Amino acid sequence: MTKAALPSWVQAELQRVPQASEQGQLRQAQAVQAVAARFDSRKKRVVVDMANGASFSFPPALAQGLADARPAELAVIEISPMGTGLHWPQLDADLSVEGLLTGVFGSRAWMREHAARAGRVTSPQKAIAARNNGVKGGRPRKAMAD
């Protein structure tokens, strides 16, 4: 079948191939994709450079598997072939770039434990609030459902 013998709808689709290809390349460039990652020992942060030109950083203490690592271990970072994940081979730690961007620094169980520890932190402000609450009669009771 020659090009002239193709139905008109097929010919129209073939004419759209270059534009569709360009759009696909544009979408791929806009995807969440890391192109470089390093540990900045001066600022004590992991810095991730993205394909779209943006970059972000985070303290290793927030991330599962990185909290107790030495700077030399944090310095060796591998990026997955698609740029969607980071791997620290010396620590056997893996984190997704998309997860890091949304504030997910580990597994659900790890994040739950991390949040629970954060809630147990004491501070002078929490102590004052607890004393003030006690003076008022303590924490209000939960209302009973009818």
Domain ranges (residues) in the chain: 34-107
What is the rounded average pLDDT of the residues 88-105? Answer: 90
- Structure tokens of 107? 């597994």
pTM: 0.61
What is the rounded average pLDDT of the residues 106-121? Answer: 75
Check if the beta carbon of residue 68 is closer than 8 Å to that of residue 133: no
pLDDT tops 70 at residue 89: yes
Kindly state which CATH superfamily the domain 34-107 is placed in: Uncharacterised protein PF10387, DUF2442 (3.30.2020.40)
Distance CA 66, CA 114 (A): 13
Lowest mean pLDDT among 51-60, 89-98, 110-119: 110-119
pLDDT tops 70 at residue 128: yes
